[in-house]
């Protein structure tokens, strides 16, 4: 088979990292869309395409192709089990292998997840793969319409992926191409924003193949680019085998492997859907979750810290003069206390309440707030000075003083 191919992958306009991985070597083409927070998604999708690229060119190529998906699954689960950071990582994998079946050159297309393979055959685009999504299952069972599926809130919930279950239940299709046909592999970042009609138009557009791939990415970005976008275009330029396709038979069919018929194929029933994986929730979730929690914790700590500091400052700068077992004393703190702070005695003066007049004593008993220790000390000094003056006056009554003076005066006189 004579081929030309073009690859393009883009982070898109929303995500910060590209967790898609793509691979092409002329015999094998693959798109993987990783999921799992931090590095997980990138690691899973990379492991998937790396494993695939190691398929030995043997006579049992189809068998090796199928088992490479299981091997990729095993490696992803093993890596994830050895690292806390990679726990829960997974990936979609859509791959095309160039091979021959009964002397006829074909593509085998294998898929798990919701990355897609399309086939542009004689100017008509058709989807090869089935989406392994909850919505895809609902659609196939006839529970919802195409229109409902396109806007379904759970359209990103996967029912199958690599790295989730020990067994891999992928689909394989056989695609019989004609010269001029184009195989398209893409991640959901393209499909979310570009309709099948638009894809067909771009593929039919007659631009060089690479420009058509770039145009697909551009279209997805122009309509939002909410996810990583990956595209592989494989154009069939010529076939070396002459086993021409019989008109009337479909160029795409479910691949029946003779050697592998012992493998029981599970029918896609809604009841048998394994644990759904919400890609958006996992991918975006883990990042936003930690950011949100971190931001919330920080805010909470700042608030608590602020309150603590305020209370501390308020308490540190609060003094009052009060009654400590009959003595006038300076207390540190707020009269009555505040939260966990209770006032404590800083200084007990030699001044006793019983030498004060009733107004002063009552004020002290009711506590006299002062803005600082110095102010409290000054208040007590003033009280002492007044009491001293009072006691001087009482021990030296005005009259007797005058009498004495007068007496001595009269004595002189
Ligand atoms: Mn994606």
Q: At what angle do helices 61-81 and 40-53 cross, to 10 degrees?
A: 150
- Judged against a pLDDT cut of 70, whether residue 409 lies above it is answered with no
What is the full DSSP assignment across 74-95? HHHHHHHHT-TTTTT-EE-EEE
pLDDT (mean) for 358-364: 86
pLDDT tens for residues 329-350? 999 887 777 766 778 888 899 8
DSSP state, residue 347 = E
**230 CA → ligand 1 middle, Å:** 9
Contact 39, 85 (CB under 8 A): yes
When mean pLDDT is compared over 163-167, 220-224, 343-347, 399-403, the highest value belongs to: 220-224
Sign of the alpha-carbon torsion through 376, 377, 382, 386: positive
CA of 317 to the centre of ligand 1 (A): 59
Whole-number Å distance, alpha carbon 228 to ligand 1 midpoint, is 6
Is the pLDDT at 275 greater than 50, yes or no? no
CA of 117 to the centre of ligand 1 (A): 14
- Six-digit token pair at 148? 């409902």
DSSP one-letter code for 270? G
Q: What pLDDT score does 257 carry?
A: 60
pLDDT for the residue numbered 289: 55
Instruction: For residues 100 and 92, give the distance between their C-alpha atoms in angstroms, rounded to a whole number.
Output: 25
Neighbours of 197 (CB within 10 A): 9
Q: What pLDDT was estimated at residue 5?
A: 98
Find the 250 Cα to ligand 1 centroid distance in Å. Answer: 29
238 CA to centre of ligand 1 in angstroms:
32
pLDDT (tens digit per residue) in 17-68: 999 999 999 999 999 999 987 789 999 999 999 999 999 877 789 999 999 9
| Residue 374 alpha carbon to ligand 1 centre in Å | 70
pLDDT for 183 beyond 90: yes
Judged against a pLDDT cut of 60, whether residue 223 lies above it is answered with: yes
| pLDDT over 70 percentage in the chain | 83
d(CA 22, CA 96): 12
Quick count: other Cβ atoms within 10 Å of Cβ 347? 17
| Tokens found for residue 256 | 């029946």
| Radius of gyration, CA atoms only, the chain | 43
Q: Give the Cα separation of 16 and 403 in Å (integer).
A: 101
pTM, entire model: 0.64
The pLDDT tens digits for 106-154 are: 999 999 999 999 999 999 999 999 999 999 999 999 999 988 988 888 8
pLDDT top residue among 3 and 297: 3
pLDDT at position 279 is: 55
Distance in angstroms (rounded) separating the CA atoms of residues 43 and 80:
9
Please give the average per-residue pLDDT across 263-275, as a whole number.
Answer: 40
User: 167: which 2 tokens?
Assistant: 């067994």
Q: Identify any residues that bridge with 110 across adjacent strands, giving them in sequence order.
A: 95, 172
**For residue 144, how many other CB atoms are within 10 A of its CB?**
15
Instruction: Provide the pLDDT for residue 235.
Output: 98
pLDDT recorded at residue 410? 40
Task: Indicate the burial class of 51 (C-beta count within 10 angstroms; 0-12, 13-18, 19 or more).
Answer: buried
410 or 385, greater pLDDT:
385
pLDDT at 399 over 50: no
Centroid of ligand 1 to alpha carbon of 187 (angstroms): 6
Q: Which residue has the higher pLDDT, 15 or 294?
A: 15
CA of residue 110 to ligand 1 center, whole Å: 18
Rounded to the nearest integer, the mean pLDDT of the chain is 84
Residue 189 has pLDDT above 90, yes or no: yes
């Amino acid at each position: 088979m004579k081929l030309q191919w073009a690859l393009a992958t883009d982070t898109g306009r929303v995500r910060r990292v590209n967790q898609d991985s793509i691979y092409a070597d002329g015999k094998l083409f693959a798109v993987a869309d990783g999921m799992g927070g931090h590095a997980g998604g990138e690691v899973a999708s990379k492991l998937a395409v790396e494993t695939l690229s190691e398929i030995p060119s043997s006579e049992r190529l189809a068998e090796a192709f199928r088992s490479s998906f299981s091997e990729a699954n095993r490696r992803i689960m093993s890596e994830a089990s050895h690292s806390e950071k990679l726990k829960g990582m997974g990936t979609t994998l859509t791959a095309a292998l160039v091979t021959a079946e009964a002397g006829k050159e074909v593509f085998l297309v294998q898929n798990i997840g919701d990355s897609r393979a399309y086939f542009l055959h004689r100017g008509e685009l058709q989807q090869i793969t089935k989406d392994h999504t909850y919505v895809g299952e609902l659609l196939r069972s006839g529970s919802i319409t195409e229109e409902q599926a396109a806007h379904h809130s759970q359209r990103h919930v996967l029912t199958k992926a690599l790295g989730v279950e020990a067994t891999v239940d992928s689909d394989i299709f056989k695609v019989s191409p004609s010269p001029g046909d184009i195989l398209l592999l893409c991640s959901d970042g393209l499909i979310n924003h570009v309709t099948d009609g638009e894809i067909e138009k771009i593929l039919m557009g007659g631009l060089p193949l690479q420009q058509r791939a770039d145009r697909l990415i551009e279209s997805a970005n122009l309509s939002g680019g909410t996810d990583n976008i990956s595209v592989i275009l494989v154009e069939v330029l010529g076939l070396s085998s002459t086993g021409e396709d019989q008109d009337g038979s479909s160029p795409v069919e479910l691949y029946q492997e003779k050697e592998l018929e012992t493998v029981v194929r599970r029918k896609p029933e809604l009841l048998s859907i394994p644990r759904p994986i919400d890609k958006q929730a996992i991918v975006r979730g883990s990042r936003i979750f930690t950011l949100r929690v971190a931001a919330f914790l920080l805010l909470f700590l700042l608030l608590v810290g602020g309150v603590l500091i305020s209370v501390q400052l308020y308490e540190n700068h609060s003094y009052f003069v009060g009654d400590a077992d009959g003595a006038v004393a300076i207390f540190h703190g707020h009269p009555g206390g505040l939260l966990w702070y209770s006032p404590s005695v800083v200084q007990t003066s030699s001044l006793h309440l019983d030498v004060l007049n009733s107004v002063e004593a009552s004020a002290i008993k009711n506590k006299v707030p002062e803005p600082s220790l110095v102010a409290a000390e000054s208040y007590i000094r003033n009280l002492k000075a007044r009491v001293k003056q009072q006691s001087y006056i009482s021990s030296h009554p005005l009259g007797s003083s005058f009498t004495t003076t007068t007496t001595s005066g009269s004595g002189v006189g």
